[in-house]
């Protein structure tokens, strides 16, 4: 599968896809570790056609990177069903990236969505008590 380039204009739509997994590599052309990680990311995209692989050039998309608190590159973010499941700076080995993707695929998303709904409800209840 090919890797898509995301921008400030396309990022939100990519995250909001109703199903599927999105893995985003935040990088810059001058970054040595980013260049070293690029072939690992490319090979993983070929091995996992059910996952959307995307890159965001932090030099070009500085505002987006800032809004997402990207402080170090490379940084990986993994979204599944509109939920951020993983965010970590640093390049991963091929084995680590493969393991991460398998873990993400095995997450019980029904349970995750339930926990998010419960947390939101609890937050709303606490806001009512404070009024």
Known active-site residue 31 = yes
Q: How far is CA 89 from CA 72, 74, 77, in A?
A: 6, 6, 9
Find the catalytic residue in 6, 22, 24, 31. Answer: 31
The single residue listed with the structure tokens 């599927």 is: 20
Closest by CA to 88, choosing from 98, 78, 96, is 78
**Exposed / middle / buried, residue 85 (Cβ in 10 Å: 0-12, 13-18, 19+):** middle
Known active-site residue 34 = yes
Find the catalytic residue in 23, 24, 34, 76. Answer: 34
Contact (CB, 8 A) for 53 and 45: yes
Instruction: Give catalytic residue positions.
Output: 31, 34
């Amino acid at each position: 599968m090919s890797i898509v380039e995301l921008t400030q204009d396309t990022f939100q739509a990519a995250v909001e896809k109703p199903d599927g997994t999105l893995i985003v590599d935040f990088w810059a052309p001058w970054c040595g570790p980013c260049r070293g990680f690029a072939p690992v990311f490319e090979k993983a995209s070929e091995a996992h056609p059910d996952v959307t692989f995307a890159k965001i050039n932090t030099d070009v998309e500085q505002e987006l990177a800032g809004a997402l608190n990207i402080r170090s590159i490379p940084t990986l973010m993994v979204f599944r069903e509109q939920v951020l499941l993983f965010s970590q700076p640093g390049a991963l080995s091929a084995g680590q990236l493969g393991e991460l993707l398998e873990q993400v695929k095995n997450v019980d998303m029904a349970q995750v969505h339930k926990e998010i709904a419960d947390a939101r409800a609890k937050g709303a209840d606490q806001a009512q008590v404070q009024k």
